[in-house]
Chains A and B, each alone.
Chain A
Amino acid sequence: MGSELELIEQARRGDAGAFSELVNRYDRKIYRLARHITQHEEDAEDVLQETFLKAFANLGQFQGHSKLYTWLVRIAVNESLMKLRQRKADKLVSLDEPLNTEEDSVPRQIAAWDENPEQRYGRAEINAILTQVIESLAPAFRTVFWLRDVEELSTEETAAALNLSIPAVKSRLLRARLQLREKLNKVFRRHGNNAPVHV
């Protein structure tokens, strides 16, 4: 298995096997990202295909200043947003519009959570809860949260991938984290009888 740069070089020279290896490294992540943005299985598959077809066609333009994954994310996010716009033609779908939210003060919150609150639930159950909760966020929030906190891109990489400023990424990340916390609070806050509560 070659290094990423070697594989990119080989793929640029037309080595389909090298490109396939790059695809294998990132296809799950790109699919998952597309699923979270589009919230639609077929659209996510289209995004996955378009992302790698465009990457293949434009590999010569990839400068190598950023990671390949960041470049793929940028293509996938654009493709996903196009899908969202097609499906929600009457709604504005953008990542850089001003977002009015109410999180300008600290939530009043005195209910603590257990150390590992998710352990109250089975694996499938917790995944279903988390999927439902993150999909209830606006695309501008859930995309930033997903890239920063789950895929662990840096703030700079996230800003580059989404074509946002660094302050915009930080602001969206804070709001996404607080909104998710608020939603999960209904599920995870400690109860006297320690009984799980469903959203």
Chain B
Amino acid sequence: MGTTRQFTCKHLLAELTDYLDDALEPEMRIQLEAHLAKCPNCWVVCDTTRKTIQVFKGMEPYPLPEDVKSRLARALHKRSSHAGQG
């Protein structure tokens, strides 16, 4: 330990995004996970933030209403016809 910098809750917050994105350097990841193992609060924050992302990823997509789709098709057709004439 000796000269190793203490990894605090504040460090966890600074590295949380890269950790959840699996973009941390291995050494930093080890320090962060060691902190998670002994800090229940940070563990819960990390776990619930990960679940937040997962829940949104599973969100049902907005359907594109048929009338919106057909108006888009008409607008594009009109524009491409004009372009063709120009």
Contacts and interface: CB of A to CB of B under 8 A. Distances in A.
Majority-rule SS of A interface residues: helix
Contacts of B72: 23, 27, 45, 48-49, 52
A159 B61 CA distance: 23
Contacts of A117: 51, 55
A106 B79 contact: no
A71 interface: no
Interface in A132-181: 134, 145, 149-150, 152, 155, 170, 173-174, 177-178, 180-181
Interface residues of B, number: 42
A123 interface: yes
B48 A109 contact: yes
B32 interface: no
Contacts of B76: 16, 19-20, 23, 52-53, 56
Interface string A99-140: 000011111111111000110000100110011001000000
Given A16-B80, A52-B76, A106-B9, A45 B71 contact: yes
